Structure 1
């Protein structure tokens, strides 16, 4: 019993160090930028030895991928929670609500948008990043697939359709939010949502 408790404590301590490194990396990537952040900066901020870093990550690029995956997961998870609270009747309205919620979070946190850049879909579909999250992001995909089946909209490949929607929203909103190109994000939203509806119904044509 005592041996099991000790193993649990060690495991929790390891997870705590890993999380501190992830939190430190996110803070520094946002504050200094990835290029100007060193591994030494990260371990100093996290308060761990440099050797500890290499127990969990290969290099800066590896921890950057972990950070992006974790932050993307939070965005998609918050979108699921928002849908569960308001629960619009129509499938297409639920999809647009999810996208709208993600865009609003990125508008409020432009530093996060700078970090993720145009790679929003990577947290859902990039195999390496999904493995880093131990497939947590698959929950968002499952919700989408279940909604597809429950709707009367003919969709032969739900994951491909979701990928198209997330790619469209992520890449175009990056430019609208950060650079106002080709227009302000609030002006752009109606065009984006019209395009998403067209994607959802494209197999009806």
Structure 2
């Protein structure tokens, strides 16, 4: 990546970081584009080179934060040398849930907004520069299936169901211990994920 690309990425990240602070502090609705550029120190005209509006930025920020978290989980998994696809997905899910339990600001932001659609429309299938900006999530998502000797009917559908299951359940469990606390809930969650994976396997 050249100096010009590095500079563009730095500006984009400055806008993303400023938006995250504002969105988690005062909310998306009460945050303006002017607030974001003022916090980031980036010119307002530059903002529109990267994002259509604050809602487009919000969607890309969700993908960006989720990608960072997923790649941290991938690094932790690599150190454990887990190769089986089912065990890899279960490890990633548990790592992410545990991390969010310790980082409730990020939990609040992601669990209210995270969906497979955000991934698909803001990362998957985008150009190389955008993939790099999001930690090359596309490479990671596709590689876990390509390397598996087991084949699955519809990997995208599987990931959709897992992401929606996790994001829609852990918020109340972690913050309010409803219907149970996280240690009690986790075995049910992981068992459900395992069943989703096995139902998709082509025998």
Please report the TM-score for the alignment, with normalisation by the length of structure 1.
Answer: 0.82
Q: Quick one: which of 12, 15, 26 aligns to 1:21?
A: 15
Distance verdict in 2 for CA 1:179–1:11, change over 3 Å: same
Higher relative contact order (CA 8 A, sep 6+): 2
Q: Quick one: which of 186, 190, 200 aligns to 2:183?
A: 186
Q: Which runs of 5+ in 1 are unaligned?
A: 1-7
Distance verdict in 2 for CA 1:37–1:144, change over 3 Å: same
Distance verdict in 2 for CA 1:138–1:14, change over 3 Å: closer
The CA deviation at 1:170 is: 1.7
- What is the alpha-carbon distance in structure 2 between the residues aligned to residue 178 and residue 34 of structure 1? 21
Q: Quick one: which of 159, 164, 175 aligns to 2:161?
A: 164
- What is the alpha-carbon distance in structure 2 between the residues aligned to residue 76 and residue 31 of structure 1? 23
Q: How many residues align?
A: 195
Distance verdict in 2 for CA 1:100–1:123, change over 3 Å: farther
- What is the alpha-carbon distance in structure 2 between the residues aligned to residue 116 and residue 203 of structure 1? 26
- What is the alpha-carbon distance in structure 2 between the residues aligned to residue 203 and residue 116 of structure 1? 26
Distance verdict in 2 for CA 1:83–1:28, change over 3 Å: same
- What is the alpha-carbon distance in structure 2 between the residues aligned to residue 185 and residue 60 of structure 1? 33
The CA deviation at 1:76 is: 1.4
- Secondary structure of 1:126's counterpart equals helix
- What is the alpha-carbon distance in structure 2 between the residues aligned to residue 100 and residue 81 of structure 1? 14
After TM superposition, the structure 1 stretch with the greater mean CA deviation from structure 2, 47-56 or 106-115, is: 47-56
Distance verdict in 2 for CA 1:28–1:155, change over 3 Å: same
Q: Which runs of 5+ in 2 are unaligned?
A: none
Note if 1:70 corresponds to 2:64: yes
Query: Which structure: larger Rg?
Result: 1
The CA deviation at 1:181 is: 2.0
Cα-Cα RMSD: 2.5
The CA deviation at 1:190 is: 0.5
- What is the alpha-carbon distance in structure 2 between the residues aligned to residue 67 and residue 45 of structure 1? 16
Please report the TM-score for the alignment, with normalisation by the length of structure 2.
Answer: 0.83
